């Protein structure tokens, strides 16, 4: 089975917007991939005039919040850097217990690359915080600029959401049979860049080797 990969459009976000943008994107993806019985919950974004949909599953929300917090922590330690959050759906294949490893083989059938370029606010004082509001720009011109940036980000985020919707609609055949017992239907994992930034790419490479990505074979 092929692993469909979707690289979402990169978004330039400010530190205080990271949390909300990630929530919006991850919940939208999971709403389309958590094919169990859901009672959808409409959530108004805090910083944008966007309403996204959550599955209404507490466990799923909790897991997403944890990953969002981890990413925000990473952002604090790596200011003004591009970060990528990887959302992967996999199937658990036969457990192979060998002499050297007892790991469970995961067969990834879909990966979502959420690309964020976290910008530091201009004239920021002190250490940036993931959930903190940005430092106020002096003067009205700064506010206008931040307002235009916010509007641009909102439009870009809306594009990303439509990109997600388009992808999930066009790519349906690779979806395995859902597990009717849980809301999420499919096991998934959210990978946050590790604090040792250099190892993030290595981890992605390892995962690609494990899944036997078609691009690796071509």
Partner 1 sequence: MAGAESGRTEQIISNFFLKLLQVVLDSRVPHLLAGSRAGGDKSRKRDRWFNLALGDPPAALENLGLWHRSVADPMVVDVLLLRDATDSESVLERWTVHYEPSSSSSSSSHPSTPSSPFRAATAFSSSSAEAAAAFYKRTYKKCVVLLRSVYAVLRLLPAYKAFRMLSAATLNNLHPHHHNQNQNCNFNLSYRVSSFAEPFTRAEEDEMKHYDFAAVETQFGQITVSVVYRHDLSEFNLESSSLFPPRIITDYVCSPAAAGPSRAFPSSLPSNEGFVQPASSPARGILRFGSGHMSRPHSWTSTPMAHHPLSGSQLSASELHASPMGVFGQRIVGGHQQLGSSRKGSTSFNEYPLSPPFSPSPSPSPPTHSGNLHRRLQSETAPVTIPLPVTGSIPVYSRAPNLSDPTRSSLPPPSPRVARADNSSEDSPEIRSFRRVEGFKLSEISPSLPSSLQKGIRDARDDSGRFSGVLSSCGGSPRVGFSRSSSKLSFQDDLDDSCPFAVDDVDVPDTQRRATDGKAASENQLASSSVSSWTSQEAAVGMLVHMLKTAPPLRQDQSYSSRAAGPGHDREGGGGSGGGASSFYAARRAADALEELRSYKEIKDMLLSRSGSHLPGPSRER
Q: Rounded to whole angstroms, how far apart are CA atoms 70 and 58?
A: 18
Nearer to partner 1, 42 or 198 (CB): 42
Q: Give the whole-angstrom CA distance, residue 160 versus residue 179.
A: 28
Min separation Cβ 51 and partner 1, Å: 4
Nearer CB in complex with partner 1: 37/209 = 37
Residue carrying structure tokens 């990169």? 10
Which residue from 167, 79, 176 is spatially nearest to 120, judged by alpha carbons? 79
Q: Supply the DSSP symbol for 40.
A: -
Residue 146, both tokens: 């931040």
Cβ of residue 96: shortest distance to partner 1, in angstroms?
27
- Taking phi first (over 0 means left), then psi (-120 to 50 degrees means alpha), and beta for anything else, what does residue 61 get? alpha
Q: Which is nearer to partner 1, 29 or 192 (CB)?
A: 29
**Residue 121: CB minimum distance to partner 1, A:** 28
Helix (H) or strand (E) holding 58: helix 58-77
Q: Output 16 or 31, the one with its CB closest to partner 1.
A: 31
CA 115 to CA 8: how far, in whole Å?
7
- Nearest distance from C-beta of residue 173 to partner 1, angstroms: 4
- Contacts with partner 1 by CB under 8 A lie at 28, 31-32, 35-40, 42, 49-53, 158, 161-162, 165, 168-170, 172-175, 177-178
Give least dist CB 201 to partner 1, A: 31
Pick between residue 135 and residue 182 the one whose CB is nearest to partner 1: 182
């Amino acid at each position: 089975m092929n692993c469909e990969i979707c690289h979402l459009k990169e978004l330039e976000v400010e530190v205080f917007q990271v949390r909300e943008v990630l929530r919006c994107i991850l919940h939208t993806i999971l709403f389309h991939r958590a094919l169990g019985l859901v009672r959808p919950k409409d959530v108004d974004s805090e910083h944008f005039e966007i309403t996204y949909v959550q599955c209404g599953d507490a466990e799923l929300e909790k897991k997403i919040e944890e990953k969002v917090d981890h990413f925000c922590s990473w952002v604090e330690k790596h200011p003004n850097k591009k970060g990528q959050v990887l959302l992967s759906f996999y199937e658990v294949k036969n457990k192979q217990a060998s002499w050297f490893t007892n790991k469970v083989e995961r067969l990834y059938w879909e990966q979502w690359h959420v690309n964020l370029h976290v910008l530091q606010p201009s004239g920021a004082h002190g250490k940036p915080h993931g959930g903190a509001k940005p430092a106020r720009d002096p003067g009205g011109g700064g506010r206008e600029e931040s307002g235009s940036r916010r509007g641009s980000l909102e439009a870009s985020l809306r594009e990303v959401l439509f990109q997600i919707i388009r992808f999930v609609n066009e790519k349906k055949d690779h979806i395995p049979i859902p597990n009717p017992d849980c809301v999420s239907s499919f096991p998934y994992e959210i990978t946050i860049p590790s604090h040792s930034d250099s190892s993030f790419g290595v981890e992605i490479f390892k995962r690609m080797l494990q899944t036997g990505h078609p691009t690796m074979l071509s």
